[in-house]
Structure 1
């Protein structure tokens, strides 16, 4: 569920965001900037009679790129959604930077994860700039700082000329660039990218490759993609999801 319309929200509540996250706890964790770490232990997710992920387990305790491969419907997106706390594992556990996502400190982990989903989540009637600013404000960023960070993201991802265009009118490639910019707004130690190359033109793909090369120096970047050859080039670790 999306938070309130960005045109109607004033300064964010100093204690909680629209999802009910206590930003005091999230801010404290973010300020501490723990080293990147991701630990997935024997996770499964059931959809009716079907079980996905089959007790998948992997971990990484230092920066780098984890490539997630698998056929359509095998559970790649489900895995990323679980790491982003958008759905829960039916069995097993996931820890982000030492925080158990099933534990009492789980809300604080949201400040440590950036997610660029395949299906872009945004206020589609409102501009790219407004969406980026509001994402920052709901994370507890002041109005002035949100404006500054949003402008930097627009420039970095080649979105400045599209800044006043409603997100719903973006092309697939443009929307993907917006999603990547939004995921990186808070410079989280763990980034989750779901099929990030889909719809990108050559220029945008070069920008993505450069960004991943920078991110992997001090963060964990989890990339789910059907492009195995590309993953083999950019990933330090590859995890196969078989469904």
Structure 2
């Protein structure tokens, strides 16, 4: 018999039948920390690495299955967004991408701020995109909270792409190159959004999903850009 160190229950086997904790609770050391990081982020059959891999294989189907109950191997979507945003922020600032001198200050200020703080931009505006998706696809069976999960997965997917593009952004110093990359990322974002929406809302016609995806994305960009613009002006970040 094993005494569970978490709840005090007596049990046999590898896991406590009352709280689920493992019978093997090793002392916390460097091996424990590395195992925690490795299993949480990179493990091939669970964690962020697993969830991200699946989001680039069959995203809409994976999210559908998650909402329907297949959740054991996946990292929690809201936590994943926060971690991915943190990774983006860390790489962005390590590459010192805050100081791109060639941007025109008057026309590029808001766009500059969005990319400088893209990590919090996508997290802070997640409820906005959830709302626009919920409004456009409200005839489906999903409630607002399920759409939040849906959009959280999609946000992590887009963050993954933006993280991969950060080294490219590092070498783009001129204004025209930055604008080209920005437009390319917006196009890639929408392609990922439509691809995921098409699989997730598979009972709808392709044309209907495309139109609703475009409208939802445009509504999101307009509302989010207005809010960012007001914030930039209010806090005096335009100079």
- TM-score range, shorter-chain basis? under 0.3
Taking structure 2 as the reference length, the TM-score comes to 0.28
**RCO comparison, higher one (Cα < 8 Å, 6+):** 1
Specify which structure has the higher proportion of helix: 2
Taking structure 1 as the reference length, the TM-score comes to 0.27
Specify which structure has the higher proportion of strand: 1
The higher radius of gyration belongs to 2
